[in-house]
Chain A
């Protein structure tokens, strides 16, 4: 257990505070319900997090009092909406380590962010015979866009393998990342294994070979303090909905020099400076990459999500999840034969725990747990290549966030024990 640091005068950065989970739970209206007759235990935040009242209210308030299109109108509501929208951009820039707001592009989510890179930077810079490097532990969102780019350009898609413990195997990295490598794309944290990757180390190797570094931060930005500059990320993609914010909003950080030289992705209104039928000039950053009317309300409410996380302190959030993960490992060990994928050392991983029962299929696990009000994910988690490497067709996954506590894990473990009795195998 951690020492009680609440009474001492330390900063959030030094010693972590324990989160007041009861108070946090009360901020999430959705958690106060029963599902199938049992109190909801939500352990599927790696798929999508729940939303605090502040975020829900921000959405309502925007539509109720302030809604207008942004960046164009001369009236009061347009000004309010524009300011609130741009305030989120400034907030995101600060949240990911203090970058320039112009380096933050709003997208519909991490998937669109990565597609944006492949279709703009990728189309401009990747040529026939060039190499694109991803890892075996990627989500399909960080595989398929690169595969498509490789197909378009006749480039070569290579993969960094993983070890049996679920870490990236960097032993042959000099053969994988070569002077022909144009880009290395990898996740900060695996959505299946929970592995936290050594981003800065890998970024340094990639940069030494002249390759660009794309970090998929969809699973890390919600759970740990991120500093994209310290990481050495040239691009960093993330999604609002996994970090308390609305769906349909995501972000892409890109280094200014890269964004400046990149052609636009989607084209249309807002992203232009001047349109003539014989010549069009692009708008300045970041608007060059934000064609059409964006998810204004979603972006504005995302600001409230970031504030909520900052109020807790990302160090404390991270510490809380480590504690839960440690406790989950302890308790899940009570189920003989239950196999947890990925690193077994809690310090090397985040709070997404994929597991398999020696007999009971993950879908039966998911259905049974749901009957007890416990929400987990079951399936291949949009990571089929990784499942193949692991020799699994599917896993069940419990993932933790700020509103989970040890009692939630107790319910999970007791339900799994009951499940084994129920299926009688």
Chain B
């Protein structure tokens, strides 16, 4: 098997793809976001629950390629329990990292996400990895603690 293929489809990515985390729908979500990747048809539906400024839970349902599904699964696993502002900052960093614009010291527990960097050698697949993260970022930006949150709808074609 060619090494670059395994660079992208790292075992940890295939593991998330085969058994995505965060599939369980949330009952009291207050951060809804939908995303699409029109050029390849990936679709993501996401929701999160924020309580007292902390992301308590995240639900991710992604229909798409291995990269987009794994990326969404990693997101669901990694952002829980962190504060609103921390998640927004980290998500922006992941986005820049996947686009190859900058590298950051991500939290130690986020090492799975480092594996997504393999997409940088496959330019057309970067959008797949980005989808969940841009949906989350827009969802968080739309969030109002008083409950006026409107659903974020994003498309990676704008990235």
Structural contact, B4 and A423, CB atoms closer than 8 A? no
**Interface check A137, CB cutoff 8 A:** no
**Shortest CB distance B29–A (Å):** 25
Closest to A392 in B: B41
**Interface check B33, CB cutoff 8 A:** no
Structural contact, A425 and B17, CB atoms closer than 8 A? yes
**Interface check B64, CB cutoff 8 A:** yes
**Shortest CB distance A291–B (Å):** 33
**Interface check A371, CB cutoff 8 A:** yes
- Number of residues on chain B facing chain A (CB within 8 A): 22
Q: Which of chain B's residues have a CB closer than 8 A to the CB of A387?
A: 41
**Shortest CB distance B8–A (Å):** 7
Closest to A363 in B: B65
**Interface check B110, CB cutoff 8 A:** no
Q: Which of A368-425 contact B (CB under 8 A)?
A: 368, 371, 378-380, 387, 392-394, 422-425
**Shortest CB distance B5–A (Å):** 4
CA distance A76 to B6 in the complex (A): 58
Structural contact, A379 and B40, CB atoms closer than 8 A? yes
**Interface check B43, CB cutoff 8 A:** yes
Find A368's partner among B5, B17, B40 (CB 8 Å cutoff). B5
Structural contact, A394 and B40, CB atoms closer than 8 A? yes
CA distance A364 to B68 in the complex (A): 10
**Shortest CB distance B156–A (Å):** 13
**Interface check A361, CB cutoff 8 A:** yes
CA distance A424 to B11 in the complex (A): 11
Find B18's partner among A362, A363, A379, A425 (CB 8 Å cutoff). A425
**Interface check A295, CB cutoff 8 A:** no
Closest to A380 in B: B41
Could you give, for residues 337-368 of chain A, a 1 whenever the CB lies within 8 Å of some chain B CB and a 0 otherwise?
A: 00000000000000000000000111110011
**Interface check A36, CB cutoff 8 A:** yes
Please judge, given known A-B contacts A423-B17, A424-B14, A425-B18, whether A393 and B41 are in contact too, CB under 8 Å: yes
Structural contact, A393 and B125, CB atoms closer than 8 A? no
**Shortest CB distance A311–B (Å):** 37
Q: Which of chain A's residues have a CB closer than 8 A to the CB of B17?
A: 423, 425
Structural contact, A367 and B14, CB atoms closer than 8 A? no
CA distance A379 to B17 in the complex (A): 20
**Shortest CB distance B35–A (Å):** 13
**Shortest CB distance A73–B (Å):** 44
Structural contact, B5 and A424, CB atoms closer than 8 A? no
Structural contact, A422 and B9, CB atoms closer than 8 A? yes
Structural contact, A371 and B18, CB atoms closer than 8 A? no
Please judge, given known A-B contacts A361-B65, A361-B66, whether A371 and B41 are in contact too, CB under 8 Å: no
Please judge, given known A-B contacts A422-B9, A425-B18, whether A363 and B2 are in contact too, CB under 8 Å: no
Structural contact, B2 and A36, CB atoms closer than 8 A? yes
Q: Which of chain B's residues have a CB closer than 8 A to the CB of A392?
A: 41
CA distance A380 to B39 in the complex (A): 7
**Interface check B128, CB cutoff 8 A:** yes
CA distance A380 to B124 in the complex (A): 14
CA distance A342 to B26 in the complex (A): 40
Residue of A363, A364, A392, A393 ringed by the most chain B CB atoms within 10 A: A363
Q: Which of chain B's residues have a CB closer than 8 A to the CB of A423?
A: 9, 14, 17-18, 66
Q: Which of B1-26 contact A (CB under 8 A)?
A: 1-2, 4-5, 8-9, 14, 17-18
Q: A367-B5, A394-B41 are in contact. List 14 more A-B contacts (CB 8 A).
A: A361-B40, A361-B42, A361-B65, A363-B67, A363-B124, A363-B125, A367-B122, A368-B5, A393-B43, A423-B14, A423-B18, A423-B66, A424-B18, A425-B17
A-B contact pairs, 10 of them (CB 8 A): A362-B40, A363-B124, A363-B128, A364-B66, A368-B5, A371-B5, A379-B39, A380-B41, A393-B43, A422-B9
Which 7 A-B pairs have CB atoms at the shortest separation, nearest pair first? Answer: A393-B41, A361-B65, A371-B5, A363-B65, A394-B41, A36-B2, A371-B2
